[in-house]
A and B are shown apart, each in its own frame.
Chain A
């Protein structure tokens, strides 16, 4: 299982990757997670990879071999679309964070990003709205995990254990709600 999580520095892709890592570890799989720290966190594009299987060597994902793309920002989904395998699935937060070249008018934000994705293998959702509904805009990452959970054969008790493992106790309830809202949204679409 190869999962690529992308977004903008500060959106919480690290926590999402840790939760996924915890889930796969509980399943008895070998897991490697690659994170980004340092300069690119300052508003730059961030990519985190999670790989799980019988044996995993490289922590990185080869182009065309991702089973799942989780994008916390729309344009970053487009940037990494080529990493998906022919049967790979994508979950995209419709939230837009214009990069500086767009803000200053030097470049244009790509239009109609959704049309680049195969509708039978992708879901576009407003995770920010659902996160606010859950009680914290910061739970966008967990809303997205709830959404992709419909594609993964992982029982609810494993997800719960992973959330408990990775999230601060006082934020657990918000994140459990966020996960459920994301999951319900994916089931409806």
Chain B
């Protein structure tokens, strides 16, 4: 089969296909999202977006018990949500293979923290494999299913941004459907984790990890790469291994670990004996290093390398070889203005955040495109913690300071509300805080690149399905006042917000307008500034990238303008209007 360049995530999906995986349930999260999208393209794989990672992991677990190889993919913080089932699935083990991919984000390209998921492998007593390129993504995915069935355990596949989102060559193999069927057999002692059964399962978990440690000693995924005999040795895995090898080349010998839990003690000790100086090069936490030190092995790690961010070839060269990089053509240019991500031109969220800013409200925020409403000039967000915290933290905030209820709102998107807003809202109603919640319904999961969710009426496999009625579910939870408004109707938004903030009961506003990047949304005629413009620059306060005062006067970039007209709504002089098809302002 011919080799082709594959995204790491695409290669994981290929591994799922080739390993005869037939069930995938995930929640999107950068950098893990594309695994499930690519998996959905195979007719032989049932794939779905679940409302959140806990539901996804439990669904995959159920499929495994039913006898089908199953998979769930998530980002690092998603594993926090899925941790509950995962820790106990470690006790029950599996029927057909169960693999959970978790993608870390060192450097926080698109995340709220840079936690190291390897701690979960140790904490949940589960094996973890870590590929270092796309070919390994495919191969380790297949290996993970074999190990899962052989050792009766869920298996973690740990990825990171540069592995998930890099392309390298993979030659495809056919789907292997030769594995014997694994029909479900009732076995409460194994699967019903009441204390009496769980007590009998725990020793099996310990024995399994000991067996897997023995297996890892001879596993081909843990391999030694000899150097030129410089005496320098490096233990590494994943993307850090690629950075180290790029930096040091033949100047070092490497122990490249493909299985990072449990670690092969003897292999590590033997390797350490062959080198004069041992470096542990691992991004984020000192997981391998701490293990080596516990084995009594002398090594250098975090005294040279950071706990933060991604490693560079230059930094590794400097730390290990003591050489600074050769000078390039030019120094880093000073004073280049930053280019932060912004809400798109025409974005439905812009109108609401403009009003929130104008009213100077305290805003408990959440995770999604609308988190960009925290950035100037909109600057209308006071906290962003995790999925759903806008709702639950809002409750705590206004419960602790009832006066604040008159000037505080929570804001989250439709997908985030389905993910973990419902239980928070239930708490608001149950414990009666005087909270005002705004659900931004843009008809899609936006930030991760347009995934369907329970409110969109469409499945991942593009089949029409039931669409969750947000207003009805809020009412069913016991919210007495629910209003729906167009996100860009800023004239009606402000009085409506005042009304809700004055209420002495929980209330919800659903601000509705679809994401402009959806293919079915048509671009309108662009706007332009006319002679009535007083150059007051009020239109700049909406933070639209199509509106500029760069040349001293206000202008609108017709190629970027979506024609939403929000800028015209904030203009008091009627100085912005639509350009007629002929080119002249109407």
Q: Interface on A for B, CB 8 Å cutoff?
A: 8-9, 18, 21-22, 25, 30-45, 56-60, 62-66, 75-76, 78-79, 81-88, 97-110, 116, 118, 137
Contact = CB atoms under 8 A, between A and B. Distances in A.
Contacts of A99: 337-340, 545
Nearest first, the 9 closest Cβ-Cβ pairs linking A and B are A64-B328, A38-B30, A38-B110, A44-B341, A107-B337, A58-B246, A39-B110, A45-B339, A33-B167
Given A21-B5, A64-B326, A104-B549, A36 B165 contact: yes
A43 B545 contact: yes
Interface in B3-50: 3-5, 7, 30-31, 33-34
A108 B4 contact: no
B162 A34 contact: yes
A59 B166 contact: yes
Contacts of A22: 5
Contacts, number: 196
A30 B333 CA distance: 32
Contacts of B540: 103-105
Contacts of A97: 545
B30 A39 contact: yes
Main secondary structure of the interface of B (DSSP, over half): loop
B367 to A, nearest CB: 10
Given A37-B449, A100-B543, A86 B342 contact: no
A110 B543 contact: no
30 contacts: A21-B167, A30-B169, A33-B166, A33-B168, A37-B34, A38-B448, A39-B447, A42-B342, A42-B372, A43-B342, A43-B545, A44-B342, A56-B168, A58-B246, A58-B247, A75-B337, A79-B333, A79-B336, A82-B333, A83-B328, A84-B328, A86-B328, A88-B329, A98-B550, A99-B338, A99-B545, A102-B548, A103-B540, A110-B333, A118-B329
Contacts of B339: 8, 43-45, 75-76, 79, 99-100
B59 interface: no
Contacts of B547: 103
Contacts of A38: 30-31, 109-110, 447-449
B327 A86 contact: yes
Interface of B: 3-5, 7, 30-31, 33-34, 109-110, 133, 162, 165-169, 239, 242-243, 245-247, 312-314, 325-333, 335-344, 369, 372, 375-377, 447-449, 537, 540, 543, 545, 547-550, 559
Given A36-B109, A40-B341, A86 B325 contact: no
A44 B314 CA distance: 25
Nearest to A96: B550
B328 A100 contact: no
Contacts of A36: 109, 165
Given A84-B328, A99-B338, 5 more contacts: A33-B166, A65-B328, A75-B337, A103-B540, A110-B333
Contacts of A137: 559
B344 A42 contact: yes
A63 B548 CA distance: 33
Contacts of A66: 328
B521 to A, nearest CB: 15
A84 B559 CA distance: 31
- Interface centre among A42, A66, A84, by most chain B C-beta atoms within 10 angstroms, is A42
B4 A25 contact: yes
Contacts of B109: 36, 38-40
A157 to B, nearest CB: 18
A59 B242 contact: yes
Contacts of A41: 341, 449
Contacts of B335: 110
B314 A63 contact: yes
A25 to B, nearest CB: 6
B332 to A, nearest CB: 4
A42 B7 CA distance: 21
Contact of B325 (A30, A63, A103, A110): A63
A25 B372 CA distance: 38
Given A42-B372, A63-B325, A98 B548 contact: yes
Contact of A62 (B3, B314, B342): B314
A105 B162 contact: no
A14 B337 CA distance: 23
Contact of A82 (B331, B337, B537): B331
A77 B377 CA distance: 26
B211 to A, nearest CB: 33
Contacts of A110: 333, 335-337
Contacts of B242: 57-59
